[in-house]
Amino acid sequence: MIRIDSVTKRYPDGTVAVDRLSLEIPDRSITVLVGPSGCGKTTTLRMINRMVEPSEGTITLDGVDISRQPVNSLRRSMGYVIQNAGLFQHRTIVDNIATVPRLLGQSKARSRARARELMERVGLDVSLAKRYPYQLSGGQQQRVGVARALAADPPVLLMDEPFSAVDPIVRKGLQEELLRIQEELGKTIVFVTHDIDEAIRLGTMVAVLRTGGRLAQFAPPAELLSSPADAFVEDFLGADRGIRRLSFFPAQALELKKTPIVAVDSTAEQIAARTTPETPYLLVTGLDGRPLGWSEPEDLVAGDIDVARLLPYGRPFAYGTDSLRAALDGAVLSPTGWAVAVDDAGRAVGVVSQQAVGEAIRAAHAKGLTAAKVAG
């Protein structure tokens, strides 16, 4: 465990970057430091590998004061990933990744073999091994950065805004990749970002820092969204924290209606049988079970369903893996006000109304409140 104990960083000109910060960073999980620029988050990260020395306070790693450890071996035991990857432009991809094993005295052949193994792990094609950094896209360079940090299999990974410089789609891919790798490797990750959405998406614990380097709140993301400590945190979380909090409630809490679903080749009897008073619309699915669109029952002519005239169904949500947020989004996007639930293969498994999503949200909140009361 990394324990930051009332650490202050004061620069010679009197600026205080970090002010009496105490944090206990749990093992084998992602702790995110988030805050506006000038909140000391990067300084805090850099104090963990002694690129910045604290003015006061101590940082211990597994109970040992890091200021008593030889600085270069301490750094080699912590992977470090930065914005723009900071790759060595004069070395090939494979040699970039092999850097720390080489510093630790491993043979060139062994280090390179390990580097190729890591390229696969972070989702890079091994054929890129002999390329140079300038020949890779920003997203690929960032993957190399992550692979390089993992090369010596360090227990700790420090990441300083690693995904800030890539476009949103690539960023999302990299975030998913990081979560997948973390699931496999279980590193202790300290992750710095200014993006609260990224913090909530990745963090097991999130530390919100305010300007001047003081800790505003340290909590799991769901708790952050449900009970921000003060106006600053609330403001920093942004306007739609209620909606975002729904990401933490599984969609499986919803009770799906399976009746109002008809296949495109249904007979008149089948259509009639599936029409009920409380479902004003029927969802038409293809022969493969995937949704095609909504229709009012009286507009459906058995044997002659015009797919082009169906109402759009918005975006379906995956019943098994998505959250209430995706379900609500689906219900809001659909002109009928009904969301479509699908299974892993994309087949429609049920439908749910905006009202039903609303009820599930109220129920989840009630449960959340009870849980918070028990915990408090």
What b/e sequence results for 143-157 when a residue is b if at least 16 CB atoms lie within 10 Å of its CB, and e otherwise? bbbbbbbbbbebebb
Applying CB under 8 A, the span of 26-34, 97-105, 184-192, 361-369 interacting with other proteins comes to: 97-105
Is the Cβ of residue 134 or residue 239 nearer to other proteins in the bound state? 134
* Residues 123-182 within binding reach of other proteins (CB under 8 A): 132-134, 138, 148, 158
Under a CB-based contact definition with an 8 Å cutoff, are residues 147 and 118 in contact? yes
Distance between CA atoms of 81 and 143, rounded to whole angstroms? 10
- Count of residues engaged in binding other proteins, rule: CB under 8 A: 30
Applying CB under 8 A, the span of 20-28, 86-94, 117-125, 291-299 interacting with other proteins comes to: 86-94
Assign residue 241 a region (left: φ > 0; alpha: ψ between -120 and 50; beta: otherwise). alpha
Applying CB under 8 A, the span of 60-68, 70-78, 174-182, 309-317 interacting with other proteins comes to: 70-78
Q: How far is the CB of 75 from other proteins (least distance, A)?
A: 4
Q: Binding to other proteins by residue 121, rule CB under 8 A?
A: no
Distance between CA atoms of 238 and 241, rounded to whole angstroms? 6
Q: What's the number of CA atoms in the CB half-sphere (13 Å) around residue 55?
A: 15
Distance between CA atoms of 77 and 49, rounded to whole angstroms? 9
Q: Which stretch of DSSP H or E encloses residue 292?
A: strand 291-295
Most distant pair of Cα atoms in the chain: their distance: 84
Among 5, 8, 10, 86, binds other proteins (CB under 8 A): 86
Is the Cβ of residue 75 or residue 274 nearer to other proteins in the bound state? 75
Among 75, 143, 241, 244, binds other proteins (CB under 8 A): 75
* Residues 181-240 within binding reach of other proteins (CB under 8 A): none
Q: How far is the CB of 68 from other proteins (least distance, A)?
A: 17
Per DSSP, the residues of 87-139 read: --TTS-HHHHHTHHHHHTT--HHHHHHHHHHHHHHTT--GGGTTS-GGGS-HH
Q: How far is the CB of 171 from other proteins (least distance, A)?
A: 17
Is the Cβ of residue 91 or residue 194 nearer to other proteins in the bound state? 91
Q: Binding to other proteins by residue 73, rule CB under 8 A?
A: yes
Is the Cβ of residue 87 or residue 283 nearer to other proteins in the bound state? 87
Is the Cβ of residue 89 or residue 127 nearer to other proteins in the bound state? 89
Strand pairing class (338-342; 317-318): parallel
Q: How far is the CB of 100 from other proteins (least distance, A)?
A: 5
Q: How far is CA 95 from CA 99, 109, 119, 150, 277, in A?
A: 6, 11, 11, 13, 68
> Residue 55 burial by CB count (10 A; 0-12/13-18/19+): exposed, middle or buried?
middle
Q: How far is the CB of 82 from other proteins (least distance, A)?
A: 6
* Residues 34-63 within binding reach of other proteins (CB under 8 A): 49, 51
Q: Which residues are at the interface with other proteins (CB under 8 A)?
A: 49, 51, 71-76, 78, 80, 82-92, 99-100, 103, 132-134, 138, 148, 158
